[in-house]
Structure formats: C-alpha cells, structure tokens
Structure 1
Amino acid sequence: MPNNAIIPCYKQEVAKSFNRAASTYDGFSQFQASVLSRLIRMTPDIKSELCLDLGCGTGNASQFLTSLSAQLINLDLSENMLRKAREKSQQSFSVCGDAELLPFQQSIFDLIFSSLSIQWCENLASIGSEVKRVLKHDGDFLVSTLAQDSMPEIAHCWRQVDGHTHINHYPSYEELIFDIQSAGLILEKSVCEPMTRWFDSPKSAIDSLKKVGASVLVETEERQVVTPLMWRKFLTEYEKLRTDKGIPLTYQLVYLHLKKTKG
C-alpha cells in the first residue's frame, strides 16, 4: 500500500529530533539497550519469513531479528537513524515512514517488533489497527513502551520552577492495553514494571534524553520557554533528589506480546 500521506507537523518535529541525535544515540542509549534486552527475552523463539522492526532507531535489534527471520524491514521516521541501522545490517531493507500509516500491503509480516517507539505516536488505537492489518494470521507483535508516571523526577522539579512538568504524559497501563487491543489483537502476555536509572549529575540525566532524541514534547502546554535562570533553578531542584546512588530518573515500562488470530 503506497503511503502518500503528508507526515503531520508534530511527527516532523520528532523526525528532526531523532535525525539530530543519530550520531550520539548509541553512546547515550543505555536505557534503551536495557529495555531492548528485556523485550528480546520476552520474544518467543519463532522463525519467520518477514519481520518488521517498527521504529528501529539505529538498528540495535537487527542482529536478534535477523536470527529469527529470513528478511528484515526497518522502519523509522528518521532517515539518519535508518542510515545508522543499515550500517549494522546491510541485508535489511529500510523504509522511512509513519507507524500510524504503514506503507505496506495487508497480511505480509510474521513478526512485528517495536522497542520504545510507539510512545511517539498520537493514537495507539491506530497502531493496533495498522499492526493487525499488515500482520499475517497468527502473526506476533512484540512491543515495549512507556506508561503513566514515567520521569516523575523531572516533572516534580519543573513544577517547582514554573508550575509545568516539561515532560510527555503517557497513558496508564490499562488504557494502553485497551487502545492497542481495540483493533482485535489478542493479548498473550503483558508486563508493567518500573526502571530507575542513576546519574552522576542532573545534566547527565537530561542528556540521556536529549542525546537520543527523546526530548520532543507532545503537549503544547508543556512547551514552555526555558530561560538560563529557569534552567539553573531546575538543575538546583533536581540536585535535591540526589541519593547515595546518584540522581534518579524513573520510567514505567510496559512490555506486550500480542497476536493476530484468524477470528
């Protein structure tokens, strides 16, 4: 199915952010690597003809996915990320496109794998619908994403400065599952668990977001102008959260295994 739709302005901003971060992503993606490893462990040992890495980033799942599939297609909004992914898996095909309007025919993929990408989509129900459309019957969808109460430390500290959170707000665990399943996908397994990472400084915590491109804000009300004085106040507030382990940054992670059945 050709994709002639114009990418929305918000998605263009997401693409620009990840394009800028393509050169620094792998050096700052320890969190993403941990989540990927967890999702890989949850993936059943299946052999497929055609696999889609939905929101592939720099292609860190490529080695695993090519071990499961005869052919891998990498899809991402960012052309620069796709270039990095090609360097890691020259046998895979690259497609620059939107996960909410997949440029593929129906019922062609045995496996769709997506680690920490669908949180950038505006409508999770459309993700479920598109995944179901392009999956074969009995095909598998493995996905990790963020849920409500992610990055509470950043939200708390910014509220002390200007009353806003300066973070994206994610659906609850229950809402997330409901929206993705609404197209008729069957839930095989779900896990919701927190992960806290620790940093030497507040700036290092923020760099773990900026250097991987994950600093685009969805809600317009959270896109506040930040002056140098406000930034210094924020860093001071964040420093107050330091413990013996360092500066915390916590995520609520959801891992799902869904399936398309013949019904």
Structure 2
Amino acid sequence: MSHAARLSDLTTGHDSTWRRQVADAFSHASGRYEQLAGAQQALGQALWQRLPSQAGAILDLGCGPGHWSQRLQTRFGPNCRIIGLDIAPGMLATAQARHGEAVQWLQADAAALPIAPASLDLVFSNLALQWCLDLEAVFTELHRVLRPGGKALINTLGPGTLQEIGHAWGCTASQLDFRSADAHRKAAIRARFAGMQVIEHQARFHYADLGGVMASLKGVGAHTRRPGAPPGRAALQQARARYEALREPAGLPVTYACLTLVLDKDTMP
C-alpha cells in the first residue's frame, strides 16, 4: 500500500528486498516504538488473556523492543526460557538495552527459525505475521519448533485494516491488501496444525490530525516508501481533506481488522 505494506505487489523474487525494507523500517522506529504503539499494545492485551497457565519455553515472534518478551518473562518466571525474535537488528538492540539478558534475543526470519524442533511450548506473536510474505512457510516453521501439545497465539491483520488511510490517499483495494481469515486457515491446515481458531474482530483508534495518524504508523515501522515521487503539498492537502471528512468526535479514526489465531499442535508426535 502507499503508506503501509503492499503485499499484493510482492513476488518471491523480491523476498530478500522486502525483508531488508521491513527490517530497516522497524530498526529506524525502534527508539520510539512503544511511545507510538498504543494500538498495537491494546490489541496485544487481548491476546495476553489467552495465555496458558504454564510453559517452559516461549518464542515471542516479532518481539520488537521487547515489551511482550519482558512481560512473558515476568508472567512465567525465571525458569521459563523466553526467546525474543525479530528481523530488525535495531529493535533487538533496543530490547536488549531496555530489558537485559533475561530474555534470549535472536535476529532471524520467521520463515527460517534457528530453533530446534519440538523445543517450544508456546509461540506468542502480536502484529508481526502481516509482514511475512509466505504464511505457509511461517506456519510450517511454527509447527516444527512446537512440542506436541504446544500452541501458537497470534494477532495479525485482515482486510479492512487502515481503510480510512486508503480512503484519504486514494488507494485501491489491492493496495491495502491484507490476507483473509480463510487464507490463514488454509495455510495452517497445510502446515499440519491439528486444531485452530480464527477470531475476527475490529478495533478503532483515534488521532487528533493526519500528522498523528501517519506518525503512529511510521513510529511502529508500519510503512514503506510511497511508489514514485514523494507526495506534493497539493496531494497532502487533498489527503487531509478526505480524512477530515471522516472525523468523529474522538478524532480521526483508524481501523484495525484483527485476526486472532489460536493454533494447536497435535498431541501425538
């Protein structure tokens, strides 16, 4: 999309370029991620309510600056091994500086996890999966590293996310391409997960002005460079006017169409 991920334009041949762009964007955002990531943290709190009562080894996939990794460490105690994994080295540097060595920080791609088979009880991932091009490859890796009876708890984004931003910038539906709940179900089935739930829900957040909206996206790395020349003053004014037409009493709305996935690995080896 123009100011967020444009998955529909990406092909396998561009995987390495896309990974580098995502890593760079999130690295640049690492210092102020938590300050501007109110929506992400609010959505993650709902995922938190689904945690199991106990776990001995947990992967925080797409850990960012380590907010959830640290909370998982506190929740499950010092005897639980927590791995905070992210593709962006800047995020991991911030996480390590803030939270120290109680968590194992690991830079890697979600589709190629440097983690032993059947070694984890839980994968926790809040709003990272939408940046992964190959769902089946990621789910296959999660199935591989989970122990029999293990679980993956995932928040990701579906169609309808950032629809107001698409309206303001005049994006087509294909430019705001988030994958459907059915696409996630099919990928999980192909990865051999025995049980799954996919819960669809929407959350709306409000900002004072267009600058606040765009800062919230850039602050969490959720943007890519707009194709072609940077928008001129006229385009910015037009986008601002379109967005202002959507204003509500609480401010300018931003919609997140969240998909919560609960994936269970078969209890049989």
TM-score under structure 1 normalisation? 0.89
| Residue in structure 2 matched with residue 4 of structure 1 by the alignment | none
Query: Which position in structure 1 is the counterpart of 2:155?
Result: 144
Please list every run of 5 or more consecutive structure 2 residues that lacks an aligned counterpart in the other structure: 1-14
Task: Give the RMSD, CA atoms, in angstroms.
Answer: 1.9
- 1:93 corresponds to which of 87, 101, 104: 104
Closer, same or farther in 2 for the Cα pair 1:231/1:167, shift >3 Å? farther
User: Which amino acid in 1 is paired with 2:61?
Assistant: L
Identity fraction in percent: 27
- Aligned residues of 1:128 and 1:181 also touching (Cα < 8 A): no
**Deviation digits for residues 12-56 of structure 1, max 9, x if unmatched?**
0000000100011111010011011110012222x2221111110
Q: 1:8 aligns to what SS in structure 2?
A: helix
CA distance in 1, matches of 2:151, 2:163: 32
Give the corresponding residue for 1:30.
38
Q: Which residue of 2 aligns with 1:174?
A: 182
* Correspondence for 1:48: 55
Q: Over residues 126-176 of structure 1, what are the superposed CA-to-partner deviations in whole Å (9 max), with x where a residue is unaligned?
A: 1110100111111111100000111111111222xxx64695411112222
The reply to whether residue 123 of structure 1 matches residue 143 of structure 2 is no
Amino acid at match of 2:62: G
Residue of structure 2 in register with 1:193 after alignment: 201
Deviation at 1:225, TM superposition (A): 3.1
Partner of 1:251: 256
Q: Distance in 1 between matches of 2:138 and 2:238?
A: 39
Q: Is 1:72 equivalent to 2:82 in the alignment?
A: yes
Bigger Cα displacement from structure 2, 225-234 vs 118-127 = 225-234
* Structure 1 residue runs without a partner (length 5+): 1-6
* 1:227 alignment counterpart: 231
8 A contact 2:166–2:176 mirrored in 1: no
By how many angstroms is 1:65 displaced? 1.6
3-state SS of 1:42 partner: coil
1:81 corresponds in structure 2 to 91
Answer yes or no: is the 8 Å Cα contact 1:43–1:257 preserved in 2: no
Structure 1 residue 189 displacement after superposition: 3.2
Using the size of structure 2 for normalisation, the TM-score is: 0.87
| Structure 1 residues 166-220: Cα deviation after superposition (integer angstroms, max 9, x where no partner) | 9541111222222233211133433210001011111111111011111127xxx
* Count of aligned positions: 249
SS at match of 1:185: coil
CA contact (8 A) 2:70 2:103 kept: no
Contact 1:187 1:256 in 2 (8 A): no
Q: Give the match for residue 239 of structure 1.
A: 244
Q: Quick check: 1:214 aligned with 2:225?
A: no
Q: Distance in 2 between matches of 1:123 and 1:168?
A: 17
